[in-house]
């Protein structure tokens, strides 16, 4: 093969490889991967919870863990933290209350606010949730060195922070600075 033909062939090979990588990237696009990982974690959690006899979903488990770390938190704060409408949280809390895991109490100084507390029975459930989470984390990180695990969590946290800032900017520009500030958590 003459040098000019080899150059043409290698140039074509590079183009083919670039096209393959470009189209293969669709299946490996960041957002799709993050969504797929999230969906699989949710599926694994719910399967394990059923196997252990826990009558809760992954989102209900998130509510329980949030309350466990912040007993006395308001319903509005939990809904905001989960990124769901308060009415959706109320339905979850009704279910968790029926299961004997969560109780609502009046706020000591503001009767419009309901605070959330775990019942004594919830302690064992929290332990089981944490055990399931740890098992799934071990499965997900299998074969990854410790420093890669730490770096991945750091990077995802940073990505989340970046997107939260962008969402706040988008809300500010849509609603105006006064309304966005009033809608911000903790305001």
Residue-wise pLDDT tens digits, 106-120: 888 988 889 999 999
> How many helices (H) does the chain have, and how many strands (E)?
8, 3
Q: Is residue 98 part of a domain?
A: yes
Rounded to two decimals, what is the model's pTM? 0.71
In the predicted model, what is the mean pLDDT of the chain?
85
**Residue numbers in the chain where pLDDT is lower than 50:** 180, 186-187
Please answer whether residues 54 and 125 qualify as being in contact, where contact means their C-beta atoms are separated by less than 8 angstroms. Answer: yes
Q: Is residue 81 part of a domain?
A: yes
Whether 116 and 147 share a structural domain = no
Q: Domain holding 105: CATH number?
A: 1.10.10.10
Whether 95 and 186 share a structural domain = no
Q: In this structure, are strands 102-106 and 114-118 parallel, antiparallel, or unpaired?
A: antiparallel
Q: What percent of the chain has pLDDT over 90?
A: 59
Show the domain range for 110. Answer: 32-140
Residue 174 burial (10 A CB sphere; 0-12, 13-18, 19+): exposed
- What is residue 180's predicted lDDT score, i.e. its pLDDT? 46
- What is residue 19's predicted lDDT score, i.e. its pLDDT? 64
């Amino acid at each position: 093969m003459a040098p000019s033909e080899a150059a043409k062939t290698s140039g074509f090979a590079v183009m083919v490889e670039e096209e393959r990588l470009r189209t293969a990237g669709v299946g490996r696009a960041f957002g799709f991967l993050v969504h797929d990982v999230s969906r699989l974690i949710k599926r694994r959690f719910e399967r394990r919870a059923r196997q252990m006899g826990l009558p809760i979903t992954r989102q209900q488990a998130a509510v329980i863990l949030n309350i466990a770390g912040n007993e006395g938190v308001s319903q509005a704060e939990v809904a905001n933290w989960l990124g769901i409408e308060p009415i959706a949280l109320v339905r979850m809390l009704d279910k968790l209350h029926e299961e004997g895991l969560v109780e609502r109490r009046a706020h000591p100084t503001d009767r419009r606010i309901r605070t959330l507390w775990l019942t004594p029975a919830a302690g064992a459930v929290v332990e089981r949730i944490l055990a399931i989470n740890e098992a799934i984390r071990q499965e997900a990180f299998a074969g990854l060195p410790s420093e890669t695990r730490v770096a991945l969590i750091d990077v995802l946290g940073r990505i989340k922070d970046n997107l939260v800032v962008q969402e706040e900017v988008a809300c500010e520009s849509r609603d105006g600075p006064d309304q966005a500030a009033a809608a911000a958590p903790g305001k």
